[in-house]
Structure 1
């Protein structure tokens, strides 16, 4: 395996793993060692002093914003539903822009009111990408494993290719790939320059027996890479993406109810341990680290 020339800064945490106010989350993530953080719209709109204060706190933290999430159930709607979602999209883009963030995440629609007509999905994603161009924002389209029409990344990739917009690319989430048992070989079709974000998470069981269990696992029981039963698959995935030429960000997308009940520094340290495992052991790179951060696995 070739030596990896990047550094630990490629890995970031997501606020969804942490409880408490935004400032406390930012502090915990920064003090654990991370230089970037994935933010949700909720982080801004629930701030007691409003969106501007939240943006100021993020800018003051010195953390780079990996991306902003998440626009849901957007594509494939018509009439007043389409107009409504366009409104939501504009609001999300404005908040993303205010943060100085260059990436908005959108996940494939689960709406029963959305058409499965591919041309309509392509048209809507192209429209969204057009809106984002003046703000210098890229759109990362992610296949939710319970999406109505698009539920595996090859389908999302197909639509992205057809839409053919420079700022529209793939948002890739390892959880959904493992949940649908999509083959690693499918990654060969991707252009690494059009993979805009890779989100990583593990979980504690080997098989998921129903869509209901998949949704529950995704929203409540994810764990950090290396903490679950898919460590080997995650390692293979990261190495494969690297060998294909992916050099973008990795964010830990870990929804976990237990972590919401733990002190922020404890959770952030668990995430940092994952970053070290992936960075040092999996991608074979050496990073000089202060002794107090080097946690034994």
Structure 2
């Protein structure tokens, strides 16, 4: 398995609604590459707007990633409330992915920021996402890319019931699952059990930990996310189930909110992966 890290937190400000930190997008992206390379990560990913920053400089993007001996593999794609627009956007980003030799596209439903955070299953919305995912997934396959739905808090695809409904209504030839261990746990799902159940349909993995204390950060539960080994996720169980399923691909570490800084979070997680998981 290859170990990756996500780079959007070097470029976005968690205290300013995730807006860009400044106008030095490319400099911030290179700082991310430099730091995770120093820590021994092998692959990287980013939100899809990194492609917009480099739309006129594909070779510059490829060169800076190669400079730090990394492989850019995943572009994270957000759905909107306009499926036709999303499909056309996916086409645009797939062209970028083809140019930089990336092989995974994470997909995520529209996220709400108002309470209640957990809402009843919206079958119509999930089936709409399933139809769109099949279209995008078919296109992705033509580009040699795996389309992977990322169940996420505050979206229509989050709980076990919602994941099952979505997966039952998507074509396994075109649509895969990106399990995020912290979001899974936040939804009340045992991460190793979800890996065991979906096995061959897992196309990509996000690893992050979560503090089990539900009294913390009730105003925004995702602030309970932690570096690996600092919470309650059974990562040994996750890795064992992945191996049992024959998964031999990317484990990408991600963390939205940093206890100290991005580098320190990435360091704690990389040391855990090496020292505890043996990877």
TM-score, structure 1 as length reference = 0.73
Residue 270 of structure 1 corresponds to which residue in structure 2?
A: 268
Structure 1 residue ranges without an equivalent (≥5): 1-8, 286-297
- 1:85 Cα offset (Å): 2.1
Which among 56, 63, 68 is matched to residue 61 of structure 1? 68
For 2:179 and 2:132, the matched residues in 1 are separated by 20
Residue 78 of structure 2 corresponds to which residue in structure 1?
A: 72
Structure 1 residues 197 and 154: alpha-carbon distance in aligned structure 2, compared to 1, 3 A threshold: farther
- 1:223 Cα offset (Å): 2.4
Residue 88 of structure 1 corresponds to which residue in structure 2?
A: 89
Whether the 8 Å contact between 1:143 and 1:153 is mirrored in structure 2 is no
CA root-mean-square deviation: 3.0
- 1:176 Cα offset (Å): 0.9
Which among 212, 222, 226 is matched to residue 223 of structure 1? 226
Residue 19 of structure 2 corresponds to which residue in structure 1?
A: none
For 2:83 and 2:95, the matched residues in 1 are separated by 18
- 1:236 paired with 2:237, answer yes
For 1:259 and 1:41, the matched residues in 2 are separated by 26
For 1:256 and 1:106, the matched residues in 2 are separated by 21
- 1:125 Cα offset (Å): 1.2
Structure 1 residues 49 and 274: alpha-carbon distance in aligned structure 2, compared to 1, 3 A threshold: farther
- 1:251 Cα offset (Å): 0.7
For 2:260 and 2:58, the matched residues in 1 are separated by 25
- 1:197 Cα offset (Å): 0.8
For 1:268 and 1:210, the matched residues in 2 are separated by 22
- Could you say what secondary structure the match of 1:193 adopts? helix
Larger radius of gyration: 1
TM-score, structure 2 as length reference = 0.77
Whether the 8 Å contact between 2:179 and 2:206 is mirrored in structure 1 is yes
For 2:145 and 2:168, the matched residues in 1 are separated by 18
- Could you say what secondary structure the match of 1:256 adopts? coil
Could you tell which deviates more after superposition, 10-19 or 129-138? 10-19
- 1:174 Cα offset (Å): 0.6
For 1:30 and 1:84, the matched residues in 2 are separated by 35
Structure 1 residues 95 and 167: alpha-carbon distance in aligned structure 2, compared to 1, 3 A threshold: same
Q: How many residues align?
A: 254
- Could you say what secondary structure the match of 2:98 adopts? helix
Whether the 8 Å contact between 1:29 and 1:268 is mirrored in structure 2 is yes
Of structures 1 and 2, the one with the larger relative CO (CA 8 A, separation 6+) is 1
Structure 1 residues 24 and 186: alpha-carbon distance in aligned structure 2, compared to 1, 3 A threshold: closer
For 1:161 and 1:116, the matched residues in 2 are separated by 12
For 2:215 and 2:108, the matched residues in 1 are separated by 21
For 2:212 and 2:232, the matched residues in 1 are separated by 8
Residue 293 of structure 1 corresponds to which residue in structure 2?
A: none
- 1:199 Cα offset (Å): 0.6
Residue 5 of structure 2 corresponds to which residue in structure 1?
A: 13
Q: Which has the higher helix share?
A: 1
- Listed one character per residue, the Cα deviations across residues 77-126 of structure 1 (whole Å, up to 9, x for unaligned) are 5xxx22222232222222222221010000133479xx732543322111
- 1:62 Cα offset (Å): 2.9
